[in-house]
Structure 1
């Protein structure tokens, strides 16, 4: 090792790689959470979606999205003339390590959509949409923010440390556009307006998935410090990780207390989503201190308890509560930065939310609609009743269970 610059290069590269591994583990968390909160007859399809969306995101972001997001905004495929996988002599960190870390965020946004459209969407239309999300939709809005263009100054001053809006709300807006076209699961809503619960198959898996996500979030937020080569950097990472943990804990307890007060019982599914909402809520500003993280988490966990029945009143069927967790809490977390960070204004945050949300929702709606017209988004009624697994994958997740 020749000098301090070499040490910083090594440490910064290690942060990207290690954090990327942690964020990749979140893919397992999303798979377990969605499997646990859906029915066994659809679990093989759920698992297929989750591993396929991860693979598609990695491929599309390499060949198209990464250069579009961090280049000059005009170069799509080919030689990576603007952002190269090869390192120059003055590189601050390994370019491949940066790509590896950033691509995990794309897969996270796609995972949000998977849970929202579960149990009635065909496999291939969903995967085709992921191609567009990871290759175009996500990197275009990412170019306006983390890519540095600020959309010609339109969203100047917008701040999102690790992606409450740029990742989580993007997945939420895209999911909302799809589910509005797709419609609710059969039997979810009665003609009299009654909401009929459709219990998930395995709350043990859902809880495991939540803990995996909680753990992976330390890489998601901690790695977004983007440097490990100084005392100030490691102090920043430590604060971010501690804040992230506090927000999750606060969100879980807020949801537990509220469901006890409202329903006279603690609803485990709400507690799980409360923890996740706390995590999403602090993701835009996980460097603002543990008291702020506690407040963000408490409000995020509470929002979930009210947002889930709100979407049901609108007859928007979200089997895993992803819209409440990632879209609603993502908006709150982004606004919270404008409240608690004196260097950021509410107006700048609001402009960013509106511009990014409008872009993602409109483009996603158009793509979903074209897919619906060309190949159809929804399985037929018989397939939905019998379960998607046999029709979509030819397998059953639990073949030894005999259905009545």
Structure 2
């Protein structure tokens, strides 16, 4: 239930933060003079004057990008399972969805420095922007949190951690 709630909060908190600041950082205009690295216009989807991206309506495009932001945040939940408190995880989700992920998006999809190179970087369906951002955050989270409680004995020897909920494990395999 805890992991389910964390993944649900990834989307809820992530959508709010991506709406408030993340979209502006990723796709906003260059108010800061750092346009290759970070956007700074269009907070709360306002003020950028853009009504569509190619054939997509702005709000359809935004919804599509929210799904990517939530995916990047959710990737980390497996690495941090049973090692973080709920409040701490919600804070992490807010930071990655509202700041870290949008900066990485800006670099390529938002027309930043990776897109402006002589030989531009190409990301296919989020393979690096979404999954590498989530994967790097997962590695850092696992490194800083350390092993799960009960993984090692007092002598430092690894111990097997028994499954906590076999029905949920089976359900997870089906999903």
- CA separation of 1:79/1:173 partners in 2, compared to 1, >3 Å: closer, same or farther? closer
For residues 173-252 of structure 1, the aligned pairs below 5 Å read 173-190=136-153, 194-200=157-163, 201-202=165-166, 203-209=169-175
Distance, in Å, in 2 between the alignment partners of 1:79 and 1:108 is 21
Q: Which moved more, 1:145-154 or 1:55-64?
A: 145-154
Q: 1:242-298 CA deviation, whole Å, 9 max, x = no partner?
A: xxxxxxxxxxxxxxxxxxxxxxxxxxxxxxxxxxxxxxxxxxxxxxxxxxxxxxxxx
Q: Is 1:107 matched up with 2:70?
A: yes
The residue that corresponds to 2:21 in the other structure is 64
Distance, in Å, in 1 between the alignment partners of 2:100 and 2:21 is 11
Cα displacement (A) at 1:98? 0.9
Q: Is 1:75 matched up with 2:48?
A: no
- CA separation of 1:76/1:184 partners in 2, compared to 1, >3 Å: closer, same or farther? farther
Distance, in Å, in 2 between the alignment partners of 1:50 and 1:79 is 24
Which of structures 1 and 2 has the bigger CA Rg?
1
Distance, in Å, in 1 between the alignment partners of 2:117 and 2:81 is 36
Distance, in Å, in 1 between the alignment partners of 2:157 and 2:119 is 45
Report the count of equivalent residues: 163
Q: Is 1:143 matched up with 2:100?
A: no
Distance, in Å, in 1 between the alignment partners of 2:49 and 2:139 is 32
Higher fraction of helix: 1
The residue that corresponds to 2:7 in the other structure is 50
- CA separation of 1:92/1:174 partners in 2, compared to 1, >3 Å: closer, same or farther? same
Cα displacement (A) at 1:74? 2.1
Q: Which consecutive residues of structure 2, in runs of 5 or more, have no partner in the other structure?
A: 30-38
SS of aligned partner of 2:132? helix
Cα displacement (A) at 1:93? 2.2
Q: Which consecutive residues of structure 1, in runs of 5 or more, have no partner in the other structure?
A: 1-43, 210-404
Q: What TM-score, normalized by structure 2, do the two folds share?
A: 0.81
Q: What TM-score, normalized by structure 1, do the two folds share?
A: 0.37
Instruction: Identify the match of residue 83 of structure 2 among 117, 120, 138.
Output: 120
Q: 1:118-140 CA deviation, whole Å, 9 max, x = no partner?
A: 11211111101111111110011
Distance, in Å, in 1 between the alignment partners of 2:160 and 2:3 is 19
Maintained 8 Å contact 2:152/2:158 = yes
Cα displacement (A) at 1:190? 4.2
